[in-house]
Amino acid sequence: MKMIGLTGGIGSGKSTVAKLLAEHGFPVVDADQLAREVVEPGQPALAELAEAFGQDVLLADGSLNRSELAARAFVDKERTELLNAITHPRIQELRERRFQEAKDAGSDAVVYDMPLLVEQGVDKNMDLTVVVDVDVEERIRRLVATRGLTEEDARRRIAAQVADAERLAAADVVIDNNGPVEALGEQVDQLVRVIRGRGAGRT
Ligand code: ADP
């Protein structure tokens, strides 16, 4: 079974491409969703976070107070690494389990949808890395128009991610989403041919 890493900067249309791939029948594993699952009440990572960052990272109902955790963890490199050391192995474990389930179900490929695929070097574990690419200014326009972000917030979030050139350098296939959504269909069809081994690799 092939593992397809799907990434792109915030607002690039990664989720839109993931949906199209799901329509082609590929199971899609969402990294953000896994990250939420591993800190659900009852999960060992949640208790470890409370131990490491203080009980105030828990809400009254025992679930995670995300903004409080962010305020305490994203203050310096050391504390960010502590957060990652608690959550990353669990996310990895869950990802492997989901991949195994896809394999057991007879899938020829699984799509791993991960915003920080390149930043965290997970692209190196994939058989194919797909990057959805859109010019920064267009991404800002879309984030402001469709997600209600301010322009300043959109720029700040984009600046916090790896530069587009670095992400593109890791790509085996680039999906150009500068055009209308309708232009994605043909590109995704081409990608599906590559995944199924009937098309050129790097595009
Ligand atoms: P990501 O998951 O990469 O952050 P999304 O797929 O959520 O991005 O897309 C960001 C926003 O832009 C969404 O509201 C989506 O509907 C919209 N969008 C995606 N592709 C296009 C496109 N080609 N033209 C206009 N809007 C688009």
Q: pLDDT of 85-136, one tens digit each? A: 999 999 999 999 999 999 999 999 999 999 999 999 999 999 999 999 999 9
Q: What is the pLDDT of residues 35-86, one digit of tens each?
A: 999 999 999 999 999 999 999 999 999 999 999 999 999 999 999 999 999 9
Among 88, 106, 124, the domain-final residue is 106
Regarding whether 63 and 96 lie in a shared domain, the answer is yes
Last residue in a domain, options 106, 125, 141:
106
Are 175 and 97 in a shared domain?
no
Mutate which of 6, 15, 139, 167 for ligand 1? The one with the most ligand atoms within 8 Å of its CB, which is: 15
Instruction: Look at residues 106, 123, 142 and tell me which one is the last residue of a structural domain.
Output: 106
Q: Is 148 exposed, middle or buried (0-12, 13-18, 19+ CB in 10 A)?
A: exposed
Which numbered atom of ligand 1 lies nearest the CA of 12? 3
**In this structure, are 128 and 81 located in the same domain?**
no
Same domain, 42 and 8: no
Q: Is residue 76 part of a domain?
A: yes
Q: How far apart are the CA of 16 and the centre of ligand 1, in A?
A: 6
How far apart CA 69 and CA 53 sit, in angstroms, is: 7
Closest CA to 185 of 8, 54, 13: 13
Number of structural domains the chain divides into: 2
